[in-house]
Structure 1
Amino acid sequence: MAPVLIVAKIILQDLWLSKVGWDEVLSLELTERWQSFRSSLSKLEQISIPRWVGTKEANVSFISLHGFCDASERAYAAAVYLRVAGEGEDGYVSLLAAKTKIAPLKLVSVPRLELCAAVLLTRFLVKIVEGLQFVSVPVFCWTDSAVSLAWIRGHPSRWKTFVAHRVAEIQTSLPGAQWSYVNTKLNPTDAATRGISPDELMDSSLWWSGPPWLAGREEGWSCGKPESSGAEDSEMRMAVNHSATSLHHSGDVLQRFSSYLRLLNVMPLCLRWLHNFRDKSHKRSGFVSPEERAQALTAVIRSTQSTAFRDELAALTSGKSLKRSSPLLPLRPFCDADGLLRVGGRLRNAVLDYDEKHPIIIPKDHHFTVLLVRHAHAVTLHGGLQATAAYLAQRYWIIRSRVVVKR
């Protein structure tokens, strides 16, 4: 009775959508729909369903299960048919069971609903196979959705989460099922997704016996190939591709270093090579000196600041004031002799070291900042948030330092 009863399910959902109270009078449209459905129910008494499906006939050689599924914007459905046939003969097809579900109130695309119908059919078939002990009976599944068929035939890892989970369930629950395409006009579950009257149900040979070709021999079951619209690609899992590009600024070069100490070991050698290339008469050699390390660290910090605080550096070097939206405005920054941004303010008169009075400003989102904080954490023997932040504050002012160190 599924094609008839789905009408009542849709009416019930429309009642929820209209937010009608228990004691309120229905709208004229809902009243007419309900009365029409109620008056037609008496005609169901005229329907008789044969209980014998022919599985124990003496000439039966082949038994197969055929499941059909379909979906509309309001509902989705599944129906299972049993086909029995003798050697070299046409088969006898019987409707075993059917099930319908209302589409959720949350807007879901029709292809996704078609996939939900396929899941409903899969679960339905699993129960029928177990209940009738048809473990060795071949199972055929049919859908008129080219999109959901492409999803089911693909590997779950190719699709997004919603589709992947359902495809995985279909493939693992019925691994031996053969999924194929059926034309919408020959799909019996189409009636169960839109609803029909009892009069139409009594005369629907498609519903009671499936498509005409199903009773014929298996070589005549071809229903054509689905026309792919490419809609299945909308659920394709996004692939992330990494490409190598030329290094235009030193910020990219810093990404190559995984530790602060390695950075201070390599960068001085790079700067030495650059110095020797420019000034061949005063070449540097031997061990890396502390002065070379200091120059390399200054160059790295200058490069980091030029990437993160480009507008602020341009304003200060040209003698202009910072924009009100600048995060450095409360720090009253200035450029020192090496071109580094430092914190200004009243601490310039304090009896402190120069680095403590005017710490170097470091951006919060930069790879060098990560290396710097990790190094401080190691130097303080993993002393935690307070110890690491206090150690860094002796020379550096990291924007939102507590958040950065905690992260």
Structure 2
Amino acid sequence: MSINRFYFENGCTNLRLHIFTDASEEAMCIVAYLQYEVTLKLLYVIGTCRVAPIRHTTIPKLELQAAVYGVRLRRQILREHDVKIDKIDHWTNLSTFSQWLQSAHKKQQVFVANRAAEIPENSSMDQWRHVKGIENTADIGTRGMSIEGLKDPGWLNGPAWLQTDEETWPKPWCQVNEAEAEQVTSTIATETELDRLIDWRRYSSFNRIRNFITYCMRFKMKQKGHLKGDEIHEAEQILFRFVQNESFPKVSKSIKKSKEISRTLNIAKLSPFI
């Protein structure tokens, strides 16, 4: 078996680096490709696997660790290659990735906080994209493979979908969040309508739905950039009001009308307010 290390015959210009990361309970894998943007051809640069820690760690945390290894491998590739790389894309199928990075300024578990802080130091959010597990070539390395398996065209040649027009690729995390916000805020006028329009079952965590609502408000105000603390706080207050209205509709309605709450209600002892 041999791997061609002579990347491109027509010189090294208009190059793009793609780094895929993935993890399983057994291993973490990172694989990188260089792409000639004129022909969209991909060439294998390096692939590496690391055994998962003996101590049990959840899959999302292992995928976050793999993302850290991805930015470290990125530094190594840039250091060891003399050619100019014009664009860089990181690919992961970690669904909580953007939430962890956007909450890096907040208190998180030590494991998450340390790694969420390292990634933005060596990459930007617009360089990170989500890819489905079956389309992630790093998934091959997390399952283990034989020498014959290394000849798999998907491993050495990269995913076929990446060699098509960029418009068909998954969008960067930041664009996904803003596009999702645009779709909803185009018909949002009040919090009541927001509560009616959002399918709460789509969001697996508080952070995810909170950030989504923040992007909705931001799009409505025509603002861009990273989320700010006061914006996130305002979105949290909206979420709390939604939950209050759903859990205590009579109490909420009574408070809004400035009427006294019946002392027969246990919640009256807590002096509720909105």
State which of 177, 181, 205 in structure 1 corresponds to 2:130.
181
Structure with higher RCO (Cα < 8 A, 6+ apart): 2
- Residue 150 of structure 1 deviates from its aligned partner by 3.0
* Residue aligning to 1:300: none
* Residue aligning to 1:70: 22
Secondary structure at 1:49's aligned position in 2?
coil
Secondary structure at 1:82's aligned position in 2?
strand
* Residue aligning to 1:27: none
Asked whether 1:57 is paired with 2:6, we answer no
What's the % identity of the aligned pairs?
29
Asked whether 1:229 is paired with 2:201, we answer no
State which of 207, 220, 223 in structure 1 corresponds to 2:155.
207
Asked whether 1:219 is paired with 2:173, we answer no
Conserved 8 A contact 1:68-1:141: yes
* Residue aligning to 1:111: 60
In the alignment, structure 1 segments of 5+ residues that lack a partner are: 1-46, 234-238, 240-407
Conserved 8 A contact 1:141-1:177: no
State which of 52, 70, 82 in structure 1 corresponds to 2:34.
82
Conserved 8 A contact 2:15-2:85: no
Q: Could you give the per-residue CA deviations for residues 134-167 of structure 1, whole angstroms, max 9, x where no partner exists?
A: 5652110000111234323x14123332212111
Q: Could you give the per-residue CA deviations for residues 345-402 of structure 1, whole angstroms, max 9, x where no partner exists?
A: xxxxxxxxxxxxxxxxxxxxxxxxxxxxxxxxxxxxxxxxxxxxxxxxxxxxxxxxxx
Separation in 1, partners of 2:125, 2:79: 14
Q: Could you give the per-residue CA deviations for residues 49-70 of structure 1, whole angstroms, max 9, x where no partner exists?
A: 112111x615x65211000000
Asked whether 1:91 is paired with 2:40, we answer yes
Separation in 2, partners of 1:81, 1:177: 19
Separation in 2, partners of 1:137, 1:155: 29
What one-letter code is carried by the residue in structure 2 that aligns with 1:57? N
What one-letter code is carried by the residue in structure 1 that aligns with 2:3? I
| Structure 1 outlier segments of 4+, above 3 Å | 133-136, 223-228
TM-score by length of 2: 0.60
Q: Could you give the per-residue CA deviations for residues 323-345 of structure 1, whole angstroms, max 9, x where no partner exists?
A: xxxxxxxxxxxxxxxxxxxxxxx
Match runs of 1:238-317 below 5 Å: none
Separation in 1, partners of 2:171, 2:126: 17
* Residue aligning to 2:74: 125
Secondary structure at 1:80's aligned position in 2?
strand
Change (3 A) 1:81 1:208: same
Change (3 A) 1:99 1:156: same
Asked whether 1:195 is paired with 2:144, we answer yes
Query: Which of structures 1 and 2 has the bigger CA Rg?
Result: 1
Separation in 1, partners of 2:94, 2:203: 9
